[in-house]
Amino acid sequence: MPQTEVITTFLEMRSRPSLAVTRPNRSGMLLHLEEPTTGFYRYLYDAIGSRWGWTARSAMDDAELLAVITHELVEIFVLYMGGVPAGSFELDRRREGEVELRHFGLVPDFIGRGLGKHLLASAVDAAWDDEPDRVWVRSTNLEHPRGLLTYQWAGFVPYDSRRHTREESAP
């Protein structure tokens, strides 16, 4: 089977940045999922991440996934534009003193509309609500080409990088 080299870059911030982002000129609403379901979560995860190679949560069975997404220290936010899910982010606070921006992205139909920085600024702001010691995220070379730069724009600083290969599945 063919293999793909994956480069994962780990980024962090140690203090809350001040991000000035102009809100998009469309009606939008960011909602906290208070009672996430596996079906809706899988829809979002696949809609956002399938083109970027997200697979970890797809491999989980429903009980395992539900335990993660309903954990009291995991928060999921969904951006709706005109009533349609346009993107989401997940904050994982299960490690004391840190918040991981676990999943972040836009549904493909909403990429290129100026929503990414707005959504990322919202994610960073929510991550700092409990004043953690650090907020961190990982990004791979398989994700959006501007992803790494956008994280750096928001104030994340790279602190580690790892390489590995991944087998590609046949279509």
The DSSP code sequence of 2-49 is -EEEEEEEEEEESS------PPPSS-EEEEE-SS--HHHHHHHHHHHH
Q: Is the pLDDT reported for residue 3 higher than 90? A: no
With beta carbons less than 8 A apart as the criterion, state whether 97 and 127 touch.
Answer: no
Please report which confidence band the pLDDT of residue 63 belongs to, taking 50, 70 and 90 as the band edges: very high
What integer pLDDT is reported at residue 164 of this predicted model? 80
Inter-residue contact 133 to 14 (CB < 8 Å): yes
pLDDT digits (tens, 9 = 90+) for 82-135: 999 999 999 999 999 999 999 999 999 999 888 999 999 999 999 999 999 999
Report the percent of the chain where pLDDT is more than 90.
67
Could you confirm whether domain 3-19+26-167 is CATH 3.40.630.30?
A: yes
Q: Collapsing DSSP states into helix, strand and coil, what is residue 90?
A: strand
Q: Position 63: which residue type?
A: A
Confidence class of residue 142 from pLDDT cuts 50, 70 and 90?
A: confident
Q: Supply the mean pLDDT for the chain.
A: 90
**Res 171: pLDDT:** 46
Residue 25 main-chain phi, psi, to 5 deg = -80, 30
Q: What is the pTM of this model?
A: 0.89
